Amino acid sequence: MTKLSVNLNKVALLRNARRSGSPDIAQAARLCIAAGAHGLTLHPRPDERHAKPVDVEMVAELLRSEPTIELNVEGNPLHTLLPIVRRVRPTQCTLVPDDAGARTSDHGWDLERDGERLRPVVAELKEQRIRVSLFIEAGSCDLEIARDIGADRVELYTEAYAAAYDTANSATVFERYADTARRAQALGLGVNAGHDLSLENLGKFCTIPGIEEVSIGHALIGDALMLGLGGAVLAYLARLPQ
C-alpha cells in the first residue's frame, strides 16, 4: 500500500498573503485527515514564505490525538530545520538539499560530497526515533552511501518524471525511476516519492512496486481549488439576499 502525505505549504502560502489567518492550517489538516490522508507534510523554509515553525508545532500538537497519522517535516538540516525537528519529533524527517533562497526543491543530494556532513544529523534523528528519508534523483549512484550513513528511506525527486509524462521519452524516464526504486529496495531502503506528482501522472508512477509514500502538495492544492471552486461560489450565492 502506498500512503499519501499531503503537503500543506501552499495553504500556508495563501494564508500569508493576508493577516487574517485564513485559510486556517489546522482546519486544512483536519479536512485532509477526515478525507483519509495517511500523513501531513510541512517544509518550513528559512524565509518563512509559507509554512512557519509555529505551523509545524501546531500540526504536531493536533496529531497527538491522531496517532495513526504521520507527520513528515522536510528541509535542509544545514540551515534552520533541526531546532524545529528536535521540538516536535515528527514521524519522519525528509532531508532535502535546498539552498536557503530556493524557490522550490529542484535537485537531490550529492552524497559523495555531503554524506559525511549528513551522517551525524541522521544519527541524531534516529536516536530520537525519527524515520529519516533523503531526497535523491532517479539514477542516483549514491544509494549505498544513503544506506551506510543510516537513512531509512530515500525520496525520489519526481520532477523529471512529471516533465516527461506523456511524451516520447516517458518510458525511458519511467524505467530510470523504477530501476532506482529496485536498487534502493535491494539495499534495504524504503522508497518515497514527491514533487510534481498529480492526478494525471500519479497512477502510472505508483505501478512501480513498493513505493511506500507519496508527498503531494502543489498539484493537490491546485486541484482542490478547481474541484471545490464551484461549490464555494454556490455557498456564497446562497448567503446573498434573493
pLDDT exceeds cutoff 70 at 3: yes
- Boundaries of domain holding 50: 3-239
In the chain, pLDDT over 70 holds for what percent of residues? 97
pLDDT at 103 over 70: no
Q: What is the C-alpha separation between 158 and 75, in angstroms, rounded?
A: 17
Tens digit of each residue's pLDDT (9 = 90 or more) over 167-202: 999 999 999 999 999 999 999 999 999 999 999 999
Render pLDDT for 219-228 as a digit per residue (tens, 0 to 9): 999 999 999 9
- The domain that contains 76 carries what CATH number? 3.20.20.70
Q: Which residues are designated catalytic?
A: 43, 74, 195
Total structural domains within the chain: 1
Residue 104: the pLDDT is 67
Report the predicted TM-score, pTM, of the whole model to 2 decimal places: 0.93
Distance separating alpha carbons of residues 108 and 79, to the nearest angstrom:
16
